[in-house]
């Protein structure tokens, strides 16, 4: 019995340690205490889709910052209608939210592209309640329709960055090497953190339609 209780105490201490480490990164304390950062200017877009006096790239960046301001909780859920109706969000929700801030209905854009070009997407597409919230579908849409850039340089605030199982938006905050922070919804890392090259980048996009057509 004593051995069992001792093991239980160790387990509790271990869990507390894990939660402390997660909190340390999630709240941004690591960046604030140990990393030097600054901000960089944003390349401006020639387009202002919503006619609010702010160019698209700046609008997308602003939308991403608005999204993380309320510190949404991370959980993957399915919603009738597609859009989350509670406090939970996943990484892909940042994309449609940021684009909406610039005047784009991303759900409609990707749903229409899937409808017209289903063979270009995975075989299981066809559920408009979830298709626009899947990283793999978003990447196909971006590859087909949006300006693609280098995977290791020339990041601009507002650019969309795709990883194998994750997606983010480049921030105007940069580290001491001049590398952009990323704004993202993640279960363990801070909403805006120095993690651009933490995982292998498989897609880098700037919201500019190919041939200038939406």
Q: What residues does each domain of the chain span? A: 1-34, 37-212
- Both tokens assigned to 93: 């929700």
* Comparison of pLDDT for 12 and 164, the residue scoring more: 164
pLDDT of residue 34 exceeding 60: no
CA distance between the termini of the chain: 68
| pLDDT tens digits, 89-101 | 999 999 999 999 9
Residue 23 has pLDDT above 60, yes or no: no
pTM: 0.84
Could you give the C-alpha distances from 94 to 6, 89, 127, 155, in angstroms and in order?
44, 8, 20, 18
Query: 3-class DSSP state for residue 106?
Result: helix
Looking at domain 37-212, its CATH class is alpha beta
Q: Is the pLDDT of residue 33 over 70?
A: no
Say how far residue 173 (Cα) sits from the centre of its chain: 15
Mean pLDDT across 113-124: 93
Comparing C-alpha atoms, which of 97, 111, 87 is closest to residue 167?
97
Strands 160-163 and 201-209: antiparallel
């Amino acid at each position: 019995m004593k051995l069992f209780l001792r093991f239980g105490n160790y387990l509790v201490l271990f869990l507390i340690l894990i939660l402390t480490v997660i909190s340390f990164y999630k709240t941004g304390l690591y960046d604030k205490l140990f990393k030097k950062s600054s901000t960089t200017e944003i390349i401006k877009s020639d387009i202002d889709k919503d006619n609010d006096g702010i160019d698209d790239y700046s609008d997308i960046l602003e939308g991403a910052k608005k999204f993380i301001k309320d510190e949404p909780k991370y959980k993957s859920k399915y919603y009738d209608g597609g859009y989350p109706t509670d406090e939970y969000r996943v990484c892909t929700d940042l994309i449609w939210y940021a684009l909406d801030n610039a005047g784009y209905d991303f759900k409609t854009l990707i749903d229409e592209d899937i409808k017209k070009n289903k063979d270009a997407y995975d075989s299981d597409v066809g559920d408009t309640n979830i298709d626009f919230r899947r990283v793999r579908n978003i990447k196909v849409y971006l590859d087909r329709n949006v300006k693609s850039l280098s995977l290791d340089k020339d990041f601009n605030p507002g650019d969309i960055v795709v990883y194998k199982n994750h997606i983010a938006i480049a921030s105007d905050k940069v580290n001491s090497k001049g590398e952009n922070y990323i704004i993202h919804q993640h279960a363990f890392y801070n909403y805006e953190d120095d993690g651009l090259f933490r995982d292998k980048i498989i897609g880098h996009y700037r919201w500019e339609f190919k041939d200038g057509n939406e």
